[in-house]
């Protein structure tokens, strides 16, 4: 496990774009898993800039959403599908997202994960981490061997999306997610974290015990993880980086 610390959110965006673009340059037909949330947005803007000026080429890459809300239309503001439409403009070959309006969401997300596995799995999976330690929508209590499924979202996760949905009441109560075991099958993983409010959970995930109580701690068992942190997110780490 590698931990990189950069000065601030701007530097994190540049470094994250470097890692993603390097992966696609090394393997143009990369299968890339991408998260939603505020942290990766500047990185996505930087990648799009590089593509626009010819510094990067994603025309053979496939991008996969790693989670989605359940029980709402794709076009609902706040869904991950709408997030990708707004922020991911890389000229990729294809963008694969779970369908939030699937009538059988459990069956749908399992089929989505199976199709990804048949395609060869993720070459690089970029993740964020929630303040409660979740990765994708794997909430606290998620075991290491959990697979793609529908989950009930915690109050903390729903509150984090209240603004994009317009209100807390509008945020769906359930989401679909690739499981911890599915994420750990990615060949490489990069975790992007910024802001001081996540410093405590970052320390628990990197330096604490591997436990379902902090799903991000399961990443310790993967041999190819890079944690990319800004200085505020890294502030509680006790060991050298």
Catalytic site residues?
A: 67, 132, 134, 139
Q: How far is CA 50 from CA 33, 43, 85, in A?
A: 19, 11, 18
Q: Supply angle C-alpha 39, 45, 51, rounded to 5.
A: 140
Calpha distance 33→128 (Å, rounded): 11
Bridge-based pairing of strands 174-177 and 149-152 is antiparallel
Two tokens, residue 185: 């099958």
Residue 156 φ then ψ, to 5°: -60, -40
Quickly count: other Cβ atoms within 10 Å of residue 154's Cβ: 17
Candidates 145, 147, 150; CA nearest to 218 is 145
């Amino acid at each position: 496990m590698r931990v990189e610390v950069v000065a601030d959110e701007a530097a994190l965006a540049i470094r994250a774009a470097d890692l993603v673009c390097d992966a696609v340059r090394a393997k143009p037909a990369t299968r890339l898993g991408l998260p939603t949330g505020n942290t990766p947005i500047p990185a996505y803007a930087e990648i799009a800039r590089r593509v626009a000026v010819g510094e990067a080429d994603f025309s053979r890459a496939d991008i996969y959403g790693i989670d989605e809300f359940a029980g709402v239309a794709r076009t609902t503001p706040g869904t991950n599908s709408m997030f990708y439409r707004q922020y991911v403009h890389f000229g990729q070959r294809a963008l694969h997202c779970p369908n939030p309006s699937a009538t059988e969401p459990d069956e749908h997300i399992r089929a989505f994960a199976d199709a990804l596995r048949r395609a060869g799995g993720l070459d690089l999976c970029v993740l964020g981490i929630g303040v409660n330690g979740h990765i994708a929508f794997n909430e606290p209590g998620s075991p290491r061997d959990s697979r793609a499924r529908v989950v009930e979202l915690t109050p903390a996760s729903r509150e984090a999306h209240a603004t994009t949905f317009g209100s807390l009441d509008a945020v769906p109560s359930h989401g679909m997610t690739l499981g911890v075991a599915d994420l750990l099958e990615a060949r490489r993983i990069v975790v992007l974290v910024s802001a001081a409010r996540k410093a405590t959970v970052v320390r628990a995930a990197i330096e604490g015990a591997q436990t379902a109580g902090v799903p991000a701690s399961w990443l310790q068992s993967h041999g190819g993880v890079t944690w990319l942190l800004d200085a505020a997110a890294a502030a509680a780490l006790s060991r050298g980086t």
